[in-house]
Structure 1
Amino acid sequence: MKIPLIFSAIAILIGTSCSAQTMNKKLKYPETKKIAHSDTYFGTVVQDPYRWLEDDQAKDTKDWVQREAAFTKNYFSRIPYREEIKAQLKDIWNYEKIGAPFKEGDFTYFYKNDGLQAQAVLYRTDKNGNTEVFLDPNKFSADGTTSLAGVSFNKKGNLVAYSFSEGGSDWHKIIILDANTKEKIDETIQDVKFSGASWLGEEGFFYGSYDKPKGSELTAKTDSQKVYFHKLGTKQSEDQLIIGGENFKRRYMGIYLSEDERYEFLNAANATNGNELYVKDLKNNTDFIAIQKGYDFNTNVVDTKGDFIYAMTDKDAPNMRLVKFNINSPTVWTDVIPETENVLSVSTGGGYIFAKYMKDALTSVDQFDYDGKLIRTITLPGKGTASGFSGKENDKDLYYSFTNYITPGTTFKFNAESGRSEVFQKPKVKFNPENFVSEQVFYTSKDGTRIPMMINYKKGLKMDGKNPTILYGYGGFNISITPSFSVVNAIWMENGGIYAVPNIRGGGEYGKKWHDAGTKMQKKNVFEDFIAAGEYLQKKGYTSKNFMALSGRSNGGLLVGATMTMRPDLAKVAFPGVGVLDMLRYNKFTAGAGWSYDYGTAEDSKEMFEYLKSYSPVQNVRKGVCYPATMVITSDHDDRVVPAHSFKFAANLQEKQSCNNPVLIRIETNAGHGAGKSTDQIIGENGDLLSFALYEMGIKKLK
């Protein structure tokens, strides 16, 4: 989840002669004890004196967290404009947000947040135009930290299973309702993880779970997913195990049905890249038929038409292609939309296929029929990111959204037959795109690779090297960072800030080759790409070291942690958020072992261990080095990237920091990896990030 920094809606005075570093007295951090502990990898001994911080249930760890939280709170109290910034944030955030509608049964559903509600509310409208609240997550908990994680209707739309997350945890619960009456009709399903509900008619649904961990539910390894079938009217203890366990051990699995409910698909994987695919023909009562075994490729079903199954695959197509095969000869694949030089993703709706191509991280869309015949190229409002174009086969109208860094996300209604688009919902944001520039540049990384970067700022900005700049990155897991609007960034730019996003290797912007170029023994390419982006911005006068902040979350938190330890002189401020920071032990917690495709593990080989150790942020903090002013960010319920990563990194930095640049750790309570945070939590975090960045960049006061 990307939560970028923001800039207040009030003007600033930049005082380079009076930095926060010179104003700070020598900081006395909370005491963090060191307990001798070491591990040996291929004959090399690695010291780990902060290993005790991995035990989130221990009294000592809880005490350390409380003392660090108090220290951070006290440091924030010296920033004179912190509360004022949060007030400005609250004001800009207060606008109505409405999602695209979707039809289920006799109702049309849509999400809406009035402005400052903790969570978006799910509404529905009947055939007579009467609108009512269907689900209000704001009533799930008193503080708004229990969120709606997913909603799944059966084909008729008369039954619904919705999942919710408490405190942002990946462990979910499912509640089953009669969709027409909104009455609960079954017991709550517990311990659901990395899964929704996939209905089989009105009989029940499939869902995924893991055996209850021994010890802490927030840190213990979850290594083997199981798929169950819950039959309505029965107890969860009676649910049938469909697949999983010792006879079919996989880390991630899911069963889902085709729209016509003829086919049952099983997707299975051991990592975040590569999958197996199996299909049952329910019409002919077959067993699971293997479509793809092994983990060399990614192949996922898109739709079905009679005996034909349509799937997206990177097999023999690093940039993806759409194929079809007959259920009676599943090994014979025929191209429907062949691979091109641009990365392909597809969606379906209204009886058509929509091909979304990505060229230099920007979207174009073509509409095809199911024989692969081009119907039309869809004209988009500009250069940016288009998403949507999906629905049921009989839907006449589909919806899509368009956005970029200076265009608020607008929803369009699209008629699949005529190709006509019209604005359906445009948010009323206090922002005029005409006053801003969003330019794409290309720069060269250390090894000569050409990297695109979007740079966004207000027109008339002086390139004098004194512009506060956020350099945001991710670079991993085949995830593409495409342009999207945020009121947070809008305010940053409104007041003279620059927001820059390079599309570094490890992502999916240029297909599988681009992803693989930032994995395992090539992971340092990602960090070098990010460093080169910062150097480009400084060389061209956009900013300078004293006005640059590095920002990233999750894998992006690793990016920031690795960059600041490799090049501590690159930026003034660093925000490693919910980061994977101990690369020798990440695979020991929760679902971490599944990230090995991108990272490799310290147990793989001596060569892999030495490579990981050479950049792992926790192991590369050195005494005598002046690191940037750092705010390490984590959450107490993060069971994706456990807080121990952040705890150990912060402890190392506080111990070894050689200058007065502060090292803080901000620990959000009742929150997880990012999804499901309340509006107050998001505003609070961004307010702290912003005020810390401005203070450390030497800003004296706000006008």
Structure 2
Amino acid sequence: MKNIIRLFQFYFFWLFLSVSFAQEGKDNQLVYPKISKEPAIEIHYGIKIIDEYSNLNKLEDSVVKEWFKAQDSLAESYFAANDIMKNYLERLRKLQNNAESSVSMIRINEAGNYFYLKYDDSLGYEKLFFRENLADNEKELYNPFQYGGENLSITYLKPSFDGKKIAIGFNENGGFSSKVLIYDLEKKKVLEDVITKINPDFGGIEWLPDSSGFIYLYFPEVDKTQPEYKKNSFSVIHKLGKNPESRIPIFQTNEDLLISEDFYPKVKIGSSLDKHIIGYVASSDDYYDSYIATISDVLQGKPDWKPFFKKEDAIFYDQGEVRGGDFIFRQGNLKGNLLGKVSIKNPDFNNPIILAEGSTDNPIIKFEVTKSNIYYARSLYGSNVSLYVLNSSNEIQQLQPPFDPGYATFFGGSIMHNNIGVGLDGWTTDYTRYLIHKDGSFSREVLSPLLTYPEFENIITEQIMITSHDGVEVPLSLVYKQGMERNSANEVFIYVYGAYGESMSPFFSPIFLDWAEQGGVLAFPHVRGGGEKGKEWHEQGMKNLKYNSWKDLIACTEALINLNLTEAGLISLYTSSAGGITAGMAVNERPDLFSSFIAEVPRLNPLGLESSSTASSTSYLEYGTVKDSTEFTGLLKMDPYLNIRSQMLYPAVLVMPSYNDDRIPLWDSGKYIAKLQNSNHTNNPVLMDINYQNGHESVGDYDESVQLYSKIFSFAKSNMKH
């Protein structure tokens, strides 16, 4: 009987494939799963909004669930029959295997102890290792399997200041909440303290100066189906050995501190010498309101929070350090930004001591404080990084790194000593960590082998400036093989973002470079909404000015054609998360430019999310709110779902949402796909491939990463129209 069932299943599977699509070359004829329309009408400020697929909001409805599963099955069937996908799987596995031996998540505490993960090929997961210092032999600290962990993937590490304990985090079932364990290096065991209802992306472990415990951001509700999901969070103190359920609130909304339920009151402790603790009212903005209290009061569970800097002072939230009686910070301004210093006792953020300044095109992007020096980085148009050191005599020296980086991040700095390192990356140069010495020289941190990729030696980069719709120049980074002919027959893969002030900084990815090695062009438009030209560049792509983001993208795409690098039909567009607005609206306005549109965990219905009664996000600070008539208009204009036009010839579309996404609900992508499948008048595939395991930012293990990008690049390749 089982054999008969298997035979029937096999026959039905191939019958489904033959009915669903016939793949001849690049023509796809798909029969999409059907879902009825249940239009909902909302009227805002006299404007009628029709949400044609409002029923897809009911994610627990059995009919809706089955529709999503059918969409996912259709996408999986499409890729199962795609020979180009099989070729990518084979090629990308080889590239990825070359990187599996490297260490990851390296953490260095004040004492110079090293904690890091190392992938075990035979076991298929990462284990935690320790070195007392860089020259010491490594010791295995923690094997998730030996401790009976159901989840073998470590997602967070934070050592104590003295290096005697380390917090180890695991994401729970791909959802919002994580679980954090504490490993005691002296006792060589995991302590009984288990922290739950924490999300390290929003606020991780902040060890107390004496390492006796820590502070973390606690979320009372982590079930995304509940109306209080992610709301009313507060910082709590936990002393090791105490009951983790006996949480002592130390920074939260109350009669003195009026904090919005959607904001995140978290804290920062920079070193074991700190006498003060900074409390931040965090949101999706670059600037926060902050408060300050003494560590001694916090330890007693009775902190006296005093106002410190305000949002209007334009202090970048993650760029402030306490050193003695001073607070050193990065501050935004119209000319770029600056490094400044104020006295903690009498802070005057309007008239700080200016330590260093950036410019609009070449802003300061980050800094690190050591015992005697301040190291900082500037980034020209988001792609060319320069490094500097400011010594105790306020003398600035530009450093000369081993290569010209496109991205840099400092590590190992502390006000306890003058040791520091920097990780450097670029479009064609692999991420490498270097130690910076007293004389300004660099040496490689030999913790992991230096990987080589001879197949990419002939790949080169250039950055050009493109004039956008309003005359503003937009940087465009290109990566391609040396000697490539400019004959309009080149296949282009565009990756765009343009939101939250995040720059499209250069990154080394063998998976991406494979496209250029095959003869294609990688293009990275640095559109407004990002941070490539400082805070003003971000603001010009926010709220009612969001249209600049997709018009910059359209201008860059047209420039690729005008420069005879490619032609319409040979341009694939890829994005993720908030980039869905930029890319989705570019496709809506100029569908003729693109051969395919691929979006991973995208935001495609921002107005729907901002008007949702269950919204638990501060994204309205970036896009606008329906509670303001002007911002509502901007939301409506930037909504890819609501602006899909019927009878249009749309390119091939692949949307890849995550079921456990804590920021963008599944219905956001579902509505867009349902409407587009009924509006598109071509044979181009319109697919939704759902990740049912991971969340918004978690890709999974090495094999899952290969699977993901094999789908992305094979879809782009399959739908080129020469």
Partner of 2:619: 595
Residue identity over aligned pairs, in percent, reads: 24
Partner of 2:141: 134
C-alpha separation in 2, matches of 1:343 and 1:90: 38
**TM-aligned CA distance change 1:317 to 1:256, over 3 Å:** same
Q: Aligned pair 1:255/2:267, yes or no?
A: yes
Partner of 1:239: 247
Q: Aligned pair 1:492/2:515, yes or no?
A: yes
Partner of 2:103: 98
Q: Which moved more, 1:374-383 or 1:134-143?
A: 134-143
C-alpha separation in 1, matches of 2:511 and 2:82: 20
Q: Which moved more, 1:254-263 or 1:53-62?
A: 53-62
C-alpha separation in 1, matches of 2:660 and 2:145: 19
Deviation of 1:186 after TM superposition, in Å, equals: 2.7
Deviation of 1:153 after TM superposition, in Å, equals: 2.2
Which structure has more RCO (C-alpha within 8 Å, separation ≥ 6)? 1
Deviation of 1:682 after TM superposition, in Å, equals: 1.1
Equivalent residue in structure 1 for 2:292, among 267, 279, 288: 279
C-alpha separation in 2, matches of 1:142 and 1:273: 37
- Residue deviations 1:450-479, cap 9 Å, x none? 011111101121112121111111111011
**TM-aligned CA distance change 1:136 to 1:58, over 3 Å:** farther
Contact 2:127 2:140 in 1 (8 A): yes
- Residue deviations 1:408-430, cap 9 Å, x none? 12222221x12221233563233
Contact 1:196 1:208 in 2 (8 A): yes
Equivalent residue in structure 2 for 1:326, among 333, 338, 343: 343
Whichever residue aligns with residue 169 of structure 2, its letter is S
Q: CA RMSD in A?
A: 2.7
1:498-577 alignment runs, 5 A limit: 498-577=521-600
Q: Which moved more, 1:365-374 or 1:383-392?
A: 383-392
C-alpha separation in 2, matches of 1:25 and 1:551: 20
**TM-aligned CA distance change 1:255 to 1:519, over 3 Å:** same
Deviation of 1:403 after TM superposition, in Å, equals: 1.8
1:95-244 alignment runs, 5 A limit: 95=98, 96-99=101-104, 102-103=108-109, 105=111, 107-113=113-119, 120-126=126-132, 129-136=136-143, 147-193=153-199, 194-200=202-208, 201-212=210-221, 216=225, 221-244=229-252
C-alpha separation in 2, matches of 1:604 and 1:501: 33
Partner of 2:441: 420
C-alpha separation in 2, matches of 1:419 and 1:603: 53
C-alpha separation in 1, matches of 2:321 and 2:392: 10
1:18-97 alignment runs, 5 A limit: 24=27, 26-95=29-98, 96-97=101-102
Aligned residue for 2:487, secondary structure, equals coil
Q: Which moved more, 1:107-116 or 1:686-695?
A: 107-116
C-alpha separation in 1, matches of 2:259 and 2:220: 12
Q: Aligned pair 1:579/2:602, yes or no?
A: yes
Aligned residue for 2:217, secondary structure, equals strand
**TM-aligned CA distance change 1:282 to 1:109, over 3 Å:** closer
Partner of 2:331: 313
- Residue deviations 1:22-72, cap 9 Å, x none? 753542101112123222212322222322222333322221121111111
Aligned residue for 2:352, secondary structure, equals strand
Whichever residue aligns with residue 590 of structure 2, its letter is R
Contact 1:225 1:249 in 2 (8 A): no
**TM-aligned CA distance change 1:371 to 1:50, over 3 Å:** farther
Contact 1:153 1:159 in 2 (8 A): yes
Q: Aligned pair 1:452/2:475, yes or no?
A: yes
Q: Which moved more, 1:222-231 or 1:532-541?
A: 222-231
Contact 2:461 2:478 in 1 (8 A): yes
- Residue deviations 1:47-100, cap 9 Å, x none? 223222223333222211211111112222331232232021111111232355
1:239-388 alignment runs, 5 A limit: 239-245=247-253, 247=255, 248-250=258-260, 251-259=263-271, 260-282=273-295, 287-294=304-311, 297-300=314-317, 302-314=320-332, 316=333, 319-331=336-348, 333-341=351-359, 342-344=362-364, 345-349=366-370, 351-361=372-382, 362-370=384-392, 372-388=394-410
Q: Which moved more, 1:595-604 or 1:522-531?
A: 595-604
Aligned residue for 2:193, secondary structure, equals coil
C-alpha separation in 2, matches of 1:398 and 1:106: 10
Q: Which moved more, 1:654-663 or 1:161-170?
A: 161-170
C-alpha separation in 1, matches of 2:107 and 2:283: 35
Deviation of 1:693 after TM superposition, in Å, equals: 1.6
Aligned residue for 1:546, secondary structure, equals coil
Deviation of 1:308 after TM superposition, in Å, equals: 1.6
C-alpha separation in 1, matches of 2:642 and 2:567: 28
Whichever residue aligns with residue 469 of structure 1, its letter is V
Aligned residue for 1:113, secondary structure, equals strand
Aligned residue for 1:408, secondary structure, equals coil
Contact 1:223 1:591 in 2 (8 A): no
Contact 1:57 1:216 in 2 (8 A): no
Deviation of 1:108 after TM superposition, in Å, equals: 2.5
Deviation of 1:558 after TM superposition, in Å, equals: 1.9
Whichever residue aligns with residue 259 of structure 2, its letter is K
- Residue deviations 1:273-329, cap 9 Å, x none? 320121123469982221213456234453333222212222x46522122222221
Whichever residue aligns with residue 365 of structure 1, its letter is L
**TM-aligned CA distance change 1:112 to 1:509, over 3 Å:** same
Partner of 2:19: none
Contact 1:349 1:390 in 2 (8 A): no
C-alpha separation in 1, matches of 2:184 and 2:654: 46
**TM-aligned CA distance change 1:590 to 1:383, over 3 Å:** farther
Equivalent residue in structure 2 for 1:465, among 488, 491, 511: 488
**TM-aligned CA distance change 1:574 to 1:534, over 3 Å:** same
**TM-aligned CA distance change 1:660 to 1:299, over 3 Å:** closer
Aligned residue for 1:625, secondary structure, equals coil
C-alpha separation in 2, matches of 1:211 and 1:284: 24
C-alpha separation in 2, matches of 1:589 and 1:472: 32
Deviation of 1:112 after TM superposition, in Å, equals: 3.0
**TM-aligned CA distance change 1:27 to 1:91, over 3 Å:** same
Q: TM-score, normalised by structure 1?
A: 0.90
C-alpha separation in 2, matches of 1:296 and 1:47: 41
C-alpha separation in 2, matches of 1:20 and 1:456: 31
**TM-aligned CA distance change 1:101 to 1:508, over 3 Å:** same
C-alpha separation in 2, matches of 1:154 and 1:450: 46
Q: Aligned pair 1:615/2:638, yes or no?
A: yes
Partner of 1:10: none
**TM-aligned CA distance change 1:358 to 1:591, over 3 Å:** farther
**TM-aligned CA distance change 1:609 to 1:658, over 3 Å:** same
Aligned residue for 2:347, secondary structure, equals strand
C-alpha separation in 1, matches of 2:394 and 2:593: 49
**TM-aligned CA distance change 1:325 to 1:296, over 3 Å:** closer
Contact 2:459 2:482 in 1 (8 A): yes
Deviation of 1:370 after TM superposition, in Å, equals: 4.3
**TM-aligned CA distance change 1:283 to 1:615, over 3 Å:** closer
Considering fraction of residues, name the structure with more strand. Answer: 1
Contact 2:274 2:323 in 1 (8 A): no
Deviation of 1:617 after TM superposition, in Å, equals: 0.8
Contact 1:399 1:414 in 2 (8 A): yes
Aligned residue for 1:585, secondary structure, equals helix
C-alpha separation in 2, matches of 1:323 and 1:142: 46
**TM-aligned CA distance change 1:118 to 1:379, over 3 Å:** same
Equivalent residue in structure 2 for 1:477, among 497, 500, 503: 500
Whichever residue aligns with residue 304 of structure 1, its letter is V
